[in-house]
């Protein structure tokens, strides 16, 4: 899997990059890719979400933009301290989107295990959870069996920003971060671990 790294990206630019990769893979001009990036504070609304789930567009005096994302799922938050892992994957041979989502979750579960954090899945929804709190959100979109969007892992974001939305349809906003769990790590280390476990998509 090809690895692409951005220190930071505006959300529209990242969507344009993924759209271009999808088209390139369909034209046999690119391979499946894992994109690491980070976004400025923003809320994204998935195809199952509504702007009614955006409660506040300014938190602690900081404005937060809102975008319709086209991915599956409801409303989620992206911002500094959160590692975004967009997986643009060719599923034409397997055509199993459930397995793809399982692999996205598994990639993060194994990464967290390397950091000494026991995590898993939860009946409340897709994503990766630790003791009833979500540490990573998952949302994907599929076009002609090329999947894009992916997973957002909370390393050390401002968790207060999640209070501006009904996160993934859950009014109690049960979110956490690696830092909140007492683990001292940084983006570089987390990226290295995720890259190792991205072999799940080979």
Predicted TM-score (pTM) of the model is 0.94
Query: Residues 6 or more apart from 76 whose CB is under 8 A from it?
Result: 43, 44, 46, 137, 139, 152, 165, 167, 168
pLDDT in tens, the chain (202 residues): 999 999 999 999 999 999 999 999 999 999 999 999 999 999 999 888 888 889 999 998 899 999 988 888 889 999 999 999 999 999 999 999 999 999 999 999 999 999 999 999 999 889 999 999 999 999 999 999 999 999 999 999 999 999 898 765 566 668 999 999 999 999 999 999 999 999 999 8
Tens of pLDDT, residues 73-83:
889 999 999 99
The CATH number of residue 107's host domain is: 3.30.930.10
pLDDT of residue 172: 63
**Residue 166 pLDDT:** 79
pLDDT tens digits for range 19-59: 999 999 999 999 999 999 999 999 999 888 888 889 999 99
Q: Is the Cβ–Cβ distance between 157 and 167 less than 8 Å?
A: no
- The catalytic site residues sit at 168
What's the domain count of the chain?
1
Instruction: Assign 150 to helix, strand or coil.
Output: strand
pLDDT score, position 153: 98
Domain that holds residue 139: 2-201
Name residues whose C-beta falls within 8 Å of residue 188's C-beta, 6 or more positions apart in sequence.
none
What's the pLDDT score for residue 103?
97
- Distance (Å, whole) CA 110 – CA 118: 9
- Which phi and psi (to 5°) does residue 23 adopt? -60, -40
Q: What is the pLDDT of residue 23?
A: 98
Position 49 scores a pLDDT of: 86
Predicted local confidence at residue 168, as pLDDT: 56
Length of the chain as a residue count: 202
The helix (H) or strand (E) run that includes residue 143 is strand 133-143
């Amino acid at each position: 899997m090809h690895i692409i790294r951005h220190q930071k990206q505006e959300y529209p630019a990242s969507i344009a990059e993924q759209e271009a990769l999808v088209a390139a893979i369909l034209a046999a001009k690119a391979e499946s890719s894992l994109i690491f990036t980070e976004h400025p504070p923003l809320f994204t609304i998935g195809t199952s979400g509504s702007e009614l789930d955006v409660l506040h567009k300014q938190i602690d005096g900081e404005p937060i933009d809102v975008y319709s994302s086209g991915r599956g799922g409801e409303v989620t938050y992206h911002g500094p301290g959160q590692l975004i892992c967009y997986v643009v994957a060719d599923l034409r041979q397997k055509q199993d989107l459930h397995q793809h989502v399982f692999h996205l979750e598994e990639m993060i579960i194994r990464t967290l295990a390397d950091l000494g954090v026991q995590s898993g899945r939860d009946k409340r929804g897709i994503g990766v959870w630790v003791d009833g709190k979500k540490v990573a959100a998952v949302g994907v979109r599929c076009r002609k069996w090329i999947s894009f969007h992916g997973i957002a892992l909370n390393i050390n974001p401002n968790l207060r920003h999640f209070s501006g939305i009904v996160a993934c349809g859950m009014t109690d906003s049960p979110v956490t971060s690696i830092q909140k769990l007492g683990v001292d790590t940084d983006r570089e280390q987390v990226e290295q671990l995720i890259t190792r476990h991205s072999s799940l998509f080979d």
